[in-house]
Amino acid sequence: MRHRLSAGGTASTLDKLNRPLRDLRLSVIDRCNFRCTYCMPRGTFGADYAFLPSSERLSFTQIVKLAEAFASLGVEKIRITGGEPLLRRGLESLIEQLAKLTTEGGKPMELALTTNGSLLAAKARSLRDAGLGRVTVSLDALDAAVFRRISDVDMHVSQILDGIEAARAVGLGPIKVNAVIERGVNEDQILPLVRLFRNTGVAVRFIEYMDVGGAGEWSNKKVVTARETRHIVESEYPLIPIVVHEQRGTAVNYRHADGSGEVGFIASVSQPFCGSCSRARVSADGKFYSCLFATHGTDLGPWLTDTASVEQLATAIRSRWIDRDDHYSELRSTQHRSGSGKVYPTVRMSLVGG
């Protein structure tokens, strides 16, 4: 088995493309109270859609066991996601248990959450008290009508802004706001978003519209590239690139020249970052996915029983990771320069976690 020494001096497991396992995205629920057109369009995810019954969701005990196994394999950061994770009842008690974990190198596990923000105002304090480190809120528009059109929910955008403010008020980590930009839909929201969050400590990050499972209407013509988005931001706010030695996250970050904050760009379509992708995903029903665009997952169920140990679970995960050679976004960019539509059908994002 191939190993390499990480900065902390501990051995890490490498996949077939020499990528270590560093990040875990844990989907705790596949349901959502929004129907974002690019993720869970109502036409597909309607009233009769068969979501996972709660009996098929992993229990908190199983999730903690999973997290322990991933930590033993080099995972340093866990992001709780979904669906909408704040819909999972009692989430704070799971966070409390995950917050006690340490990495292989003995550091506290980084614990983050991605949410649509609709329930954040009510939960910010209890999430912080439970030990959540940081929160990312998805918000694609400030204009109430554009927000409603994208999220396809009868809610005022001020509810999300209240959630962000509540998270800030309780000191819930450095807050990020993620905005997916789709051509002809919300390019006009780029500058208002940047404007609103300057001088607040909240970093806005713009994500290219991806052909995730669920985004049936995707076409590469609808992708506003990170470069285009940056030019729009720079038309009003000069930016200075933040130089990093090693690209670990998905965003390329800039700071405002006048010191009023940071803006990030996630070029998942125009400049894929598969080469440094260290993310594993586990769905709410305990399937391991080695890529956001995987076609199927490995069922970890047999190792999530009382009779299997954390070590046995870790061995099963490791054997799947060392076999990993996913690089869908790179394939997309070579196969779809001018065409449209997905390269091949993939698992829905609300199940596998964004």
Instruction: Using CB under 6 A, list all residues that contact ligand SAM.
Output: 32, 38-39, 81-82, 84, 114-116, 138, 178, 180, 207, 209-210, 212, 215, 349-350, 354
CB 294 within 8 A of CB 212: no
Binders of ligand SF4: how many residues, by CB under 6 A?
Answer: 24
Beta bridge partners of 78: 24, 111
Q: Does 350 bind ligand SF4 (CB under 6 A)?
A: yes
Q: Which stretch binds ligand SF4 (CB under 6 A): 27-35, 54-62, 97-105, 196-204?
A: 27-35
> CB under 8 Å to 267, separation ≥6 — which residues?
208, 225, 226, 227, 252, 273
CB 179 within 8 A of CB 153: no
Of 153 and 196, which CB lies nearer to ligand SF4 in the complex structure? Answer: 153
Q: Does 273 bind ligand SF4 (CB under 6 A)?
A: yes
Q: For residue 17, count other CB atoms closer than 10 A to its CB.
A: 13
Query: Which of ligand SAM, ligand SF4, none binds 286 (CB below 5-8 Å, type-dependent)?
Result: none
User: Pick from 282, 291, 300, 316: which binds ligand SF4 (CB under 6 A)?
Assistant: 291
Of 70 and 209, which CB lies nearer to ligand SAM in the complex structure? Answer: 209
| Helix orientation angle between 120-130 and 158-169, rounded to the nearest 10 degrees | 30
Q: Which stretch binds ligand SF4 (CB under 6 A): 28-36, 59-67, 68-76, 122-130?
A: 28-36
Q: Does 116 bind ligand SF4 (CB under 6 A)?
A: yes
Quote the CA–CA distance of 245 and 139 in Å, as a whole number.
29
Quote the CA–CA distance of 142 and 221 in Å, as a whole number.
24
Quote the CA–CA distance of 64 and 246 in Å, as a whole number.
30
Of 77 and 198, which CB lies nearer to ligand SF4 in the complex structure? Answer: 77
Query: Which of ligand SAM, ligand SF4, none binds 289 (CB below 5-8 Å, type-dependent)?
Result: none
Of 261 and 353, which CB lies nearer to ligand SAM in the complex structure? Answer: 353
Query: Which of ligand SF4, ligand SAM, none binds 210 (CB below 5-8 Å, type-dependent)?
Result: ligand SAM
Q: b/e string for 174-204 if b means 16 or more Cβ within 10 A?
A: ebbbbbbbbeebbeebbeebbebbbeeebbb
Interacting residues with ligand SF4 (CB under 6 A): 32, 34-36, 39-40, 82-84, 116, 138, 272-274, 277, 279, 291-293, 326-329, 350
